[in-house]
Structure 1
Amino acid sequence: MHVEDRHRHWPGQHYLIRLRAPDDYTAQRSYSVASDDSDPLVEFLVERLPAGEVSEFLADVAEVGDLLEMRGPIGRWFRWDTYTPALCLVGGTGVVPAVAMTRAARHHGRSDLIRVMAVGRSPEALPYAEELAAAGAAIVYTRHPTSARPPGPPTRAEITPLLAGTQLAYVCGSSRFADFAETLLVEAGLSAEAIRVERFGVTG
């Protein structure tokens, strides 16, 4: 997406996309940025949700050349500064900030600073799975076996080695996933103050 008068964004930030009807009714949703700031376009992942006012419009109606109202980039708390060693523990469509962080790390020659564990039900249900795996991410499927592990949620034994040398952890996913991930990180020895959480749920 091309953004007029674009300001620099940091990995982990998001934009607010607002739709406006002829009668001035508005609907808006937040979408995390997947692209690195060096990309000339801003990339978002839109999950088409049944009866989702904004997602259905973006998936089924919007066309190249349409103008959309946007505000951003937003989010200081969840952004990665590109030099602090960090772990991303992300689930489902919550992988998007981790994608932005791995792309930024690669662009800056700092791929060693970002570690990622991405969790999904199956390969089909985990966006960017191939890109994240190619970047060295640990991929965990809760309902799909792989050659590396049986299906199931990540364990403390799996997450503990990824925390070595890191100073922050970023958690993004559904409210249920975020609660699980935050507890897992604390049980693995990370201070709660070092965990930054971005959770999402159904919007009415």
Structure 2
Amino acid sequence: MEVTRDSEKLVRLRFEVADRVDHLPGQHYVLRLRAEDGYTAQRSYSIASDPADPLLELMIECLPDGEVSGFMHAEARVGDEFELRGPIGGWFTWAGDVPALCLAGGSGVVPVVAMMRHARRLGVEHLLRVVVVARTLPELPYDDELVGRADMIALTRENLGSRVAAPPYPDELVDLVEGVQRAYVCGSVGFASFAQRVLGEAGMRADAIRVEQFGASG
């Protein structure tokens, strides 16, 4: 296992998984911790790696009082072994076959990164439009990949270039929604609600929006 601590709150883990089943961008794995007394704790994490990557990549945000995220952030070391189950999920997946728009907030960008990497390898980047939202750029996971690749980065606590700090407005998304057959929303419960509303106001059909939402409790 490879371990990279990208920030005080983010740890990037790359696992070698025996007999791994190929995944689709948008799927997730369940990571389980098991104590010597038999106590277990588990959490689902979206996959960040392209399906062709020989290693499975997860990006874990350290949440307040998070049993699994806290342990992985503070204790995980190169060479550690963990229980993994997956890939899981079929609804929130993109195979690179239809024009799509992703609107993700915070650590909800992780499955979007997998979609971006998949699109780049297949040469279908023109089919994927990406909008991400974060408080500040340093708090955005994979900011190095998203800057210059995402169609729009909306920061809510600091300006970015000429764009004043604010969530995305419907009129900023109208052109990005045009011609899109499917939209993917990923983020917290509150963000998912906002994202569905702003996409609808920009002209996206509600039945074409697929949502993956999460909270501190998992």
Per the normalisation by structure 2, the TM-score is: 0.91
Partner of 2:19: 5
Structure 1 position 56, deviation (Å): 1.5
Whether contact under 8 Å (2:173, 2:202) holds in the other structure is yes
Partner of 1:83: 97
Partner of 1:161: 175
Structure 1 position 171, deviation (Å): 0.2
Q: Distance in 1 between matches of 2:56 and 2:157?
A: 32
Q: Distance in 1 between matches of 2:27 and 2:56?
A: 12
Whether contact under 8 Å (1:129, 1:139) holds in the other structure is no
Q: Secondary structure at the match of 1:66?
A: coil
Q: Distance in 1 between matches of 2:209 and 2:167?
A: 19
- Counterpart amino acid of residue 135 in structure 2: R
- Paired residues, what number? 204
Runs (5+) with no aligned partner, structure 2:
1-14
Whether contact under 8 Å (1:12, 1:101) holds in the other structure is yes
| 2:76 is aligned with 1:71 | no
Partner of 1:52: 66
- Counterpart amino acid of residue 168 in structure 1: R
In the TM superposition, what are the counterparts of 1:118-137 in structure 2 within 5 Å?
A: 118-137=132-151
Q: Secondary structure at the match of 1:104?
A: helix
- Counterpart amino acid of residue 31 in structure 2: I
Q: Secondary structure at the match of 2:101?
A: strand
Per the normalisation by structure 1, the TM-score is: 0.97
| 2:33 is aligned with 1:25 | no
Structure 1 position 138, deviation (Å): 0.9
Whether contact under 8 Å (2:25, 2:94) holds in the other structure is yes
Structure 1 position 71, deviation (Å): 0.6
Structure 1 position 147, deviation (Å): 2.0
Structure 1 position 64, deviation (Å): 1.6
Q: Secondary structure at the match of 2:147?
A: helix
User: Would you identify which runs of 4 or more consecutive aligned residues in structure 1 move more than 4 Å?
Assistant: none
RMSD of aligned Cα (Å)? 1.1
| 2:54 is aligned with 1:40 | yes
Paired-residue identity, % = 54
Q: Secondary structure at the match of 2:77?
A: coil
Structure 1 position 61, deviation (Å): 1.3
Which of the two has greater strand per residue? Answer: 2
Deviations 1:78-97 (A, max 9, x none): 01021111000000000001
